[in-house]
Structure 1
Amino acid sequence: MSFVLAILLISIGFALSAYSYIRSQKDSERIAHTFRVINTLEDVLSLAKDIETGTRGYLITHKTIFLEPCTSAASRVHPELRTLRALLDDNPAQQRSTDTLTRLINAKIAISTRQVRLSRRAPDSIRQAYLLIGKIRMDDIRAHAARMIAVEQDLMQQRRADAHRSFQNTLVLIFALSLLTFAVLLISYNLLDRELRRRAENETQLRQYEHELQGKIQQLEVSNQELERFAFVASHDMQEPLRKIQTFGDLLNQNYPSQVDSNGRLYLNKMLTSADRMSKLIRDLLSFSRLKNEPDAFQRISLGDVLDRVLMDLEVPIKKNSATINVGVMPVLDAVPSQLEQLLCNLISNALKYTKSGVSPIITISAKRVYGAAYPGLHVDQAYYELSITDNGIGFDEKYLDRIFDVFQRLHAKAEYEGTGIGLAICKRVVAYHQGYITARSREGLGTTFIIILPENQVMTSAAVTDTVETRNSKASL
């Protein structure tokens, strides 16, 4: 802002300088014009004097040589008067004075002509009378021309004073603007220097923060690796006692049915059911922990082929529930086949599980090409595919939309619908890894539509991007 003000002040200074130069030129032209008027008046007066002098010389000597300057002056005086009138075109008062001067000169020329025509025999008294009249008219011309010259001289003095005053005012204004511009530039320099120092300090601090962040990232990567190893080892170690519980429980049921009463069998069945649920939970946790970035795993695949394999794996529950699966035209895109299979398997399994009593499931799977501008957190100009999985199940209230993709979050009791509460969290993590977006639309009793947005081409794959997209999905689902 300060630099803009300085440039504005400099521009005003240049404009004033140009204006001062133009004004000075005009003032000089006006003063020069007044000089020309005065010079012309003096020329007219000089010609009148030539007429007077030539006439007197002739009357005294009667020699025609004295008439030559008189005749020449008489022929030149009227062009000079016309020039004077043109010069005084902008001054009506002086033009009127010019008219008067013209009449006086015409009268002087007339009396001179009469004097020249006088006979040598004319009495001296008449000659003296003519000389007196000629002198009076010449004196009138001198006096009138002097008054006109005085007017022009006063005008010239006034114009000189105006020019001098205008020049001084312009100099003062330009000097003030220069001082103000210098002050603004000095302030701007100080502000800029302060801003540069502040940015240098911020840059140093940011580099320090970046160094600290790199250290934290390394610690986090080590921690994640240790946590992943721990999850794998823990799940593996927990699976072993569970298998023994299930094995010995089955043996007890098979080999000693008569020795276990009804309450014992009830307790035994509950124990085996809980062990089976625990086994599923551990397997899901292990699947969730194994989802990590594998850039080399991305392949150009047909989503239709992946979906065919998933439907083949789910053939038994599909037939058991008498479900109808409608599949539209599926696209080709960049994806990790195993993760995409897990994503589709979890979503279709949910559609087969959360059904209304006495109603056969109808699941519709479709896809269409969209652009990132249609959904939050995606690249605006990048091409994506919108995959929709719609069912006619029990649905849910959309106020719980922010919860269903979190780990261990369930909207129904375990007795109503089995499950571990990890399936949709796995779906969210898969979509986040693919730099996509997942959400759902639903109403209680009217079914659910899960919407998955996946990029047609993978432009970058990194842990940071995965975490960022996963966070965006979490916020956008609110």
Structure 2
Amino acid sequence: MPTSSSRYLRTAFIVGLFVILCIGGFTYKHISELSQTSKVVNDNYSLRSELEIIISNLKDAEIGHRGFLLTHDSLFLNPYEESLQKVTNNLHKLDTLIVSNGEQVEKLKVLKSDIEKRFNNFDRSFSLANDDTILTQDLLFLLHEGEIRMDRIRADITEMLDLEQRLLIHNQEVNEKKIGLTPLFFYGLLIVTLVILLLAYFKMSKDLKALKDNNIELEIFEKLTKQSEIVSNTSTWVWYIEENEFEFSDNLYRLVGEEPQSFEPTLENFYEYVHEEDINNLGQQVNMMMREEELPFTNFRVVHKDGTIRHLKAYSKMMDETEGDKKMFGVTIDATNEVENYRIIEQRNQELERTNKELSAFNYVASHDLQEPLRKIQTFMSRLETKEKDHISESGQLYIQRMKSASARMRMLIEDLLQYSRTNTSEKEYLKTNMNMLLEHAKTELLDSIEEKQATIICDDLPTMDVISFQIQQLFINLISNSLKYSKEGVPPIIEITHQEVFSKDVEEIKESLYKFHHKITFKDNGIGFEQTYAEKIFLLFNRLHGKSEYSGTGIGLAICKKIVENHKGVIMAEARPNVGASFIIYLPFLK
């Protein structure tokens, strides 16, 4: 905004200056034209006056001429000669007054010729004059010719006066028109100038108001910035490269335990607060900053006067050279809490590593040391049932059957726990895999149960996906096994497996996902189903909807399914109706 405003003001100033120059030029031209018109009018009056004077001088010449002819007194020649000289001067003035008018110039030539002839007539009549009282015939002829010449001169002057009168009227009209336009012309230029000045004034007023508002916003922003630095434990500083001077924000002083602006912002003064073990490394980083004009994230410690040690982190980057001066803007952050949290995380990671090692040891114990005595218990119970069957009472045999059932459930529980543990701790190596192949492997593993239940499995063609192969195969095994287990008595199970690609935003459960598309794989059966209120609980570890005597199982299978789907950044849901069947819906992400 300041740039556009200053550009506008410069433009207004240039336009105003141009208008003033135009006004001066037009004024000079207009006054010149008025002066020229006035001069022409004055010349018109002067020309008329000279023409009238010529007639008067010619009359004086005639009077002198007649006086001499009548008296033969040479005194009458004086006014004649003076009139001759005056007429000559009058003609010279006329030359200067009508030089610009072609028609008048021609008439002046005729007038000069007639005047010249008239004076020639005077000269010849003087030569014929004598002392006789009676005029000669030639002299009378010359006098008569002189009268004719004089009439021609009067006619010439009359024509010139008429022409000059017309020119005078025309020049007066032009002069009056120019004089009439002059006020309007100057008033118009004045209005234009005032409009430009008013526009400039309004623009300046608007810019001043905007500048005032900006200053208020800057003051508020500065206060907020200072407050945010205090709240976030951050500070800023600027290095003016050309002058090699620094400027510290108030909170940088607080980060080193001092009051704002309590010391001069120099590197030497700041180094006094840096921990002695970190000052060499920080100095090297700052020297590199001065050479390369950039400071990467640098960690160091500072020591307050009370002995408190704080961890700081600094970073800087070159600012845009909008004004020609090179500046580097830097940020210094109090990273003490970050360092302490990192130490806590390290400690917890170490504890997790110890816990994982203990879990690994437990897995080994569960897979070897616990199962070995359990196998012996089952073996000895089998021998006892076979060899001592006749010596054991009916109640003893019932107890043996319950012990066998309990040991079988314990064995199944250990195996499921191992399976769940492997799902959590196994390496997650994703490979591009044909899902149809994994489904076939799962069906092969469950072939006995499928044939026993006379189950029918209908499946769409599944895509090739990036998955953890053995986990997806286990997912298929658990879901098919679940449908077989909870099938209706006397009704052959029908399991339908369908696949489709969906937009993530169209599905409520995955609309917030980072992936645009998902694979939707659905396992639908015609089993006993369950109430929809239990749709989330069935995926919890050890959760069972039916008693041990009704259906076998440990309540871990579906929990394993959920863990496998989560490992693949997917979602699994269940929908069911009692005595109608259940559907398990899986959404696995992919990039299209």
TM range (shorter): 0.5 to 0.7
The equivalent of 2:394 in structure 1 is: 262
Contact 2:573 2:586 in 1 (8 A): yes
Contact 2:574 2:583 in 1 (8 A): yes
Is 1:18 the counterpart of 2:11 in the alignment?
A: yes
More helix, by proportion: 1
| Count of aligned residue pairs for this structure pair | 399
- Which ranges in structure 2 are unaligned for 5 or more consecutive residues? 55-86, 104-149, 156-161, 235-330
Is 1:418 the counterpart of 2:552 in the alignment?
A: yes
Change (3 A) 1:35 1:206: farther
Q: CA deviation at 1:392?
A: 0.7
Q: Distance in 1 between matches of 2:39 and 2:151?
A: 25
The equivalent of 1:304 in structure 2 is: 436
Secondary structure at the aligned position of 2:538 is classed as coil
Q: Which string of whole-angstrom CA distances, capped at 9 and with x for unpartnered residues, describes residues 318-357 of structure 1?
A: 2222222223434433434432332211111101011122
Contact 1:373 1:379 in 2 (8 A): no
Contact 1:45 1:145 in 2 (8 A): no
Aligned partner (choices 67, 78, 92) of residue 94 of structure 2: 67
Q: Which string of whole-angstrom CA distances, capped at 9 and with x for unpartnered residues, describes residues 33-76 of structure 1?
A: 34432321221111111222233234335432222343346679
Residues 379-398 of structure 1: pairs in structure 2 closer than 5 A: 379-381=514-516, 385-398=519-532
Aligned partner (choices 431, 437, 452) of residue 565 of structure 2: 431
Is 1:46 the counterpart of 2:39 in the alignment?
A: yes
Q: CA deviation at 1:390?
A: 1.8
Contact 2:499 2:522 in 1 (8 A): yes
Secondary structure at the aligned position of 1:265 is classed as helix
Residues 49-448 of structure 1: pairs in structure 2 closer than 5 A: 49-61=42-54, 62=87, 63-72=90-99, 151=183, 155=187, 162=194, 169=201, 173=205, 176=208, 180=212, 183=215, 187=219, 190=222, 194=226, 198=232, 200=331, 204=335, 209=341, 212-213=344-345, 215-234=347-366, 236-292=368-424, 294-295=426-427, 298-368=430-500, 376=510, 379-381=514-516, 385-448=519-582
> Could you say which structure has the greater relative contact order, defined with CA pairs below 8 angstroms and 6 or more residues apart?
1
More strand, by proportion: 2
**Which deviates more from structure 2 when the two are superposed, residues 158-167 or residues 12-21?**
158-167
The equivalent of 1:4 in structure 2 is: none
Q: CA deviation at 1:372?
A: 5.7
Counterpart amino acid of residue 8 in structure 2: A
**Which deviates more from structure 2 when the two are superposed, residues 37-46 or residues 333-342?**
333-342
Secondary structure at the aligned position of 1:252 is classed as helix
Change (3 A) 1:160 1:42: farther
Secondary structure at the aligned position of 1:409 is classed as coil
Q: Distance in 1 between matches of 2:482 and 2:182?
A: 114
Q: CA deviation at 1:294?
A: 4.8
Contact 1:340 1:430 in 2 (8 A): yes
Change (3 A) 1:72 1:324: same
Change (3 A) 1:336 1:73: closer
Secondary structure at the aligned position of 1:355 is classed as coil
Q: CA deviation at 1:268?
A: 3.2
Secondary structure at the aligned position of 1:404 is classed as helix
Q: Distance in 2 between matches of 1:312 and 1:254?
A: 34
Change (3 A) 1:60 1:171: farther
**Which deviates more from structure 2 when the two are superposed, residues 189-198 or residues 448-457?**
189-198
Q: Distance in 2 between matches of 1:28 and 1:163?
A: 16
Larger radius of gyration: 2
Q: CA deviation at 1:408?
A: 1.0
Counterpart amino acid of residue 379 in structure 2: T
The equivalent of 1:107 in structure 2 is: none
Q: Distance in 2 between matches of 1:191 and 1:72?
A: 84
Secondary structure at the aligned position of 2:572 is classed as strand
Change (3 A) 1:240 1:177: same
Q: Distance in 1 between matches of 2:181 and 2:208?
A: 40
Q: Distance in 2 between matches of 1:430 and 1:306?
A: 14
Question: TM-score, normalising length from structure 1?
Answer: 0.67
